[in-house]
Amino acid sequence: MSDIEPELVLRTDDGPVTTLSLNAVARRNALSLELRAALERTLRGAMADPDCRAIVLTGEGDHFCAGGDIVAMAGLDAISGRNRLTSAHDIVRLLVEGEKPVVAAIEGYAVGAGLSLAAACDIVVAGRSARFACSFNRLGLVPDFGIAFTLPMRVGMGRARRIMLAADTFDAEAAERWGLVDQVAEAGEARRVAVALASRIAADAAPLSNAYAKRLLARMPGTLDDVLRAEADAQSILYASRDFAEGRAAFLGKRKPSFEGR
């Protein structure tokens, strides 16, 4: 077991429910490569654990996940950028195709790749504090972590286009109306509500039945790999673009970016 796992992803087992909590609070749980690796390993371990029948995915502190680690993206080119997505795709496959139901518990920000993580979970519970945005285009990047597959499956193609292209921030109530969030809890209560729901699933549902149901759902309407391959093709090009360099510089400089379309 990696030494970073207890620090970056906290695992709590409560009977048949395993809670995995992103624990990079100072960075609002931004998905560094180290955090991705820890999440992939702990998630894989929970999926393989015969005593686990449901998983809750949440974040420590005030936020679920503020997206990718922009600071760590310095110097990426097409090849290194494509390789960077490997761990992301492993996580998405585990969430979408893994045998155990996964309930997301969201407070605060779930933006960029944080929104993608939420959309890849089977059920999403959000506190009223939750705020969502698909903000990749504000950095000059294409939405990744499989969201072009998962988001339309939740909210429909038209709403997914609006969320991705306009990149507006929206609250938990709007997310529930659109189908991204399945249940809204009072602020600070998302984890408790998610664990209670996961406990009911673990207690009442046949694990093998849920496993096969998830496999069937993962194949609709097309294959996940089709989307992931297309995502990697686009993202590898965009990592090397001038617009991404500008988007990243503007983000770090806390200014509005000026994109050139190249």
Is this structure's pTM higher than 0.75?
Answer: yes
- pLDDT tens figures, 35-81: 999 999 999 999 999 999 999 999 999 999 999 888 888 888 888 88
Cis peptide leading into residue 221 (ω within 30°) = yes
> What is the pLDDT of the chain when averaged over all its residues?
93
- pLDDT tens figures, 15-36: 999 999 999 999 999 999 999 9
Cα separation, 117 vs 16, in Å, equals 22
Contact 103, 200 (CB under 8 A): no
Q: Which domains does the chain have, with CATH numbers?
A: 5-188 (3.90.226.10)
